[in-house]
Amino acid sequence: MADETGRPIDAIEAALTDVVAVLTKANVPYALIGGLATGYRSRPRYTKDVDLIVDIPQITLPAVLAALGGLGFEFNDHDVIEELARHHMAVLWRDGVRIDWLKPLLPAYRHVLERACTEPGPGGTLRVATAEGLILLKLFAFRLQDQTDIEALVAANRGALDIDWISTEWQTVFEPDDPRLHWFLGLLSIDR
């Protein structure tokens, strides 16, 4: 089986399994977000990358990068360290699979990380953001795919979502009258 780009799903699962194993061994808090996580919390959908919130201490980073490099991940150590320090994001590659790391700079992102749940995954278990956490992050980005994912998350988690948590976290970053939040709340009333 392949994803929409023709890349084998096995390559995505292998990259996810190995990065999670390294982060777990180093006791680095992480949470799967993005399209793969949306598939855990709603309907499965293909994606071409792995998105993670990663709270990695600067002192731990070189050892983690060395371990990943030994498993065939491709990156420039200096670039990853600089990107995480300056932009709070970094990109690694493995067999054509992009792995995006996002540091939890804002408290809302840290809360998404803290609320992540352990789920069965390829190669063992992994921590996956909750449906509420994914909705919040997707409201922040609000691209067309994010809106589609939010609709799927709402449909799959009907009646079980903590709307108050999403609204409270939203208001730590954006105003309560932001059109994105109104769109989401309107979606809930349509969905009921």
Q: What is the pLDDT of residues 91-143, one digit of tens each?
A: 999 999 999 999 999 999 999 999 999 999 888 999 999 999 999 999 999 99
pLDDT exceeds cutoff 60 at 4: no
* 8 pLDDT tier (thresholds 50, 70, 90): low
Phi/psi of residue 101, nearest 5 degrees: -105, 135
* 44 pLDDT tier (thresholds 50, 70, 90): confident
**Predicted local distance difference test score (pLDDT) of residue 101:** 98
**Predicted local distance difference test score (pLDDT) of residue 63:** 97
Fold for the domain defined by 9-191: Beta Polymerase; domain 2 (3.30.460)
In the chain, where the domains are located: 9-191
pLDDT exceeds cutoff 80 at 9: no
**CA pseudo-torsion sign 180, 30, 145, 192:** negative
- H/E stretch holding 124: strand 124-128
- What is the 3-class SS of 18-73, one letter each residue? HHHHHHHHCCCCEEEEHHHHHHHHCCCCCCCEEEEEECCCCCCHHHHHHHHHHCCC
Residues of the chain with pLDDT > 90, as a percent, come to 88
